[in-house]
Amino acid sequence: MKISGLRVSLMTMGLAAALHAMPASASTVSGALDLLNTYNAIVFGDMTSSSHTDGAVLVGGDLSASNVVFNMHSDANTAAAAAGTPAMTVIGNVTGSVQADGSAVVGGNLSSGASISVNGRGGVTLGGNVEEHASLSGNGNVYVGGDVKNASVTATGGDLSIGGKVTGNSTLTGNFNGTGNLYVGGTVSGSTSITANGGSKNLNVGTVPAGSTASQTLSGATTLISSAETTLQAYSRQLASLTANNDVSWNGSVLTFNATTADGNGVAVFDIAGTTLSYLSSASSFIFSLAQSVKEIIVNVTGVGANTLNINADVSTNGGDTVSAQVLGTNTIWNFSDATGEIKLSKLFGGDILAVYADLTNSGNIEGTVVADSLTQLAEIHYDGQHVSTVPLPAALSLFAAALLLTGVGGLTARTRRREMRPSLSSSRFFKSVPSARS
């Protein structure tokens, strides 16, 4: 599915105003929406994927992939592409096979037998090693901070830089044609093959020229995921504090969201808790019926806690004022603010998902951006963006902008609250604290 333009939210105009009385709410809303509009999946911990994602992904832990494509419809988010947002940013290690339609930033290792290939114009910055039988290729500058061990690295149209050693039966290929050169900081041993078409070979140079820039890029990525976590957790808490102004109806198998009332900013809010939480897990279909005054929908789901929540309903349309999952992907946020267990989605799901403390598994396609503590992706995640926000960001965000620009994203904000017991982001292990339902 290809949709031009950047999805934003009327919520930048509507919900930001609705929350204006809360401390730092405007900056939290603006920062959170920037994140939701830039990435199609944001995962604070580990991600396992065997399917495709329309837009870019941001992963704070390790990535385990099985023939996946990230940013497969990069034209769906033209503003993110113009800003140079990487198709994939992973703080930890990568295992399996990944195709990125755009640049890639990886803080850890490319594990044994794994591969990352970049289509179109985009380089690769890898902070760790390229392990045995792994393959790394990019169309632009390709940087490896560690060693290449019996593996293959290719750069086309930019420098190929290896910060460490090259050993074993490795292959380094630079298709430069006057646009780049090959650099190896350490020694080259074994039966390594080195090709530099249209560029120079520079071996055992100590420090490679790209090292400083790559270090800044990797540091910026770590800062980004940390700030994304605190910002989105704060945003989830703010949404959870909104007062419901609409009700759902239940007929035994269909849960209908009757958005007949909106506040002055066009926001309709639903609370799912208690009895209605049981409806959520037992429904076979969701129907969203929207009045013309409704521009945004917030569905606050509470009471899940450490339990597993199974959602087996898809989004149905029933004529009239009902809307599709694709429309919900542009104007709806499902906020699972106190869920710390697993959320399982088995069918087509519409709307952005905030599950900032939960482990999310989808075996049906999702229309919208996913935010989760960990993600097991078994079906596609689609980006349905349409509009560009014109709301200026608070001046306080400028202190953080420089770090974010290193990874191609500007205008995000951080909150000082940290998740309890959280280790360094160089680790892929994350610990959860249990939030209150309305904190």
Instruction: Please report whether residue 369 resides in a domain.
Output: yes
Choose the weakest-confidence range: 2-6, 146-150, 374-378.
Answer: 2-6
What pLDDT shows up at residue 385?
72
Q: At what angle do helices 211-240 and 25-38 cross, to 10 degrees?
A: 120
pLDDT mean over 300-316: 95
User: Which are the contacts of 181, defined by CB distance < 8 A and separation ≥ 6?
Assistant: 159, 160, 174, 196, 199, 200, 201, 202
What pLDDT shows up at residue 247?
95
Q: What is the mean pLDDT of the chain?
A: 83
Q: Above pLDDT 70, what percent of the chain? A: 78
HSE, side-chain direction, 13 A CA sphere, residue 234 = 26
CB-based contact 366:381 (threshold 8 Å): yes
- 267: containing domain: 245-382
The secondary element (H helix, E strand) that includes residue 144 is: strand 142-144
CB atoms under 10 Å from CB of 253, counted, come to: 11
The secondary element (H helix, E strand) that includes residue 290 is: strand 285-290
The span from the CA of 405 to the CA of 224, in Å, is 10
The residue with greater pLDDT, 209 or 84, is 209
The span from the CA of 38 to the CA of 52, in Å, is 17
What pLDDT shows up at residue 77?
56
Interval 169-188: pLDDT, tens: 999 999 998 999 999 999 99
What pLDDT shows up at residue 76?
59
Interval 222-247: pLDDT, tens: 999 999 999 999 999 999 999 999 99
Phi, psi angles (nearest 5°) of residue 148: -115, 120
SS3 287: strand
Question: Do the bridges between strand 247-250 and strand 254-259 make them parallel or antiparallel, or are there none, so unpaired?
Answer: antiparallel
Interval 135-149: pLDDT, tens: 999 999 999 999 999
Q: Is pLDDT above 80 for 4?
A: no
SS3 300: strand
Q: Is pLDDT above 90 for 427?
A: no
**Using CA of residue 411, residue 417, residue 420, residue 426, what is the dihedral sign?**
positive
Choose the weakest-confidence range: 35-49, 102-116, 193-207, 384-398.
Answer: 384-398
Interval 248-290: pLDDT, tens: 999 989 999 999 988 888 889 999 999 999 999 999 999 999 9
Q: Considering its fold, how many domains does the chain have in total?
A: 1
Closest-CA residue to 122 (of 110, 107, 136): 136
Instruction: Please report whether residue 394 resides in a domain.
Output: no
Q: What is the pTM of this model?
A: 0.85
Q: C-alpha distances in angstroms, 107 versus 42, 52, 128?
A: 16, 22, 6
What pLDDT shows up at residue 73?
84
What pLDDT shows up at residue 82?
61
Instruction: Please report whether residue 427 resides in a domain.
Output: no
Q: Above pLDDT 90, what percent of the chain? A: 66
The residue with greater pLDDT, 198 or 19, is 198
Instruction: Please report whether residue 239 resides in a domain.
Output: no
CB atoms under 10 Å from CB of 80, counted, come to: 26
Phi, psi angles (nearest 5°) of residue 317: -110, 145
Instruction: Please report whether residue 58 resides in a domain.
Output: no
Instruction: Please report whether residue 26 resides in a domain.
Output: no
Instruction: Please report whether residue 288 resides in a domain.
Output: yes
SS3 214: helix
At CA 433, angle to CA 282 and CA 17, rounded to 5?
A: 75
- Give me 377's structure tokens: 């992706």
Interval 394-413: pLDDT, tens: 333 333 333 444 444 433 33
Instruction: Please report whether residue 311 resides in a domain.
Output: yes
What pLDDT shows up at residue 148?
98
Q: Is pLDDT above 60 for 85?
A: yes
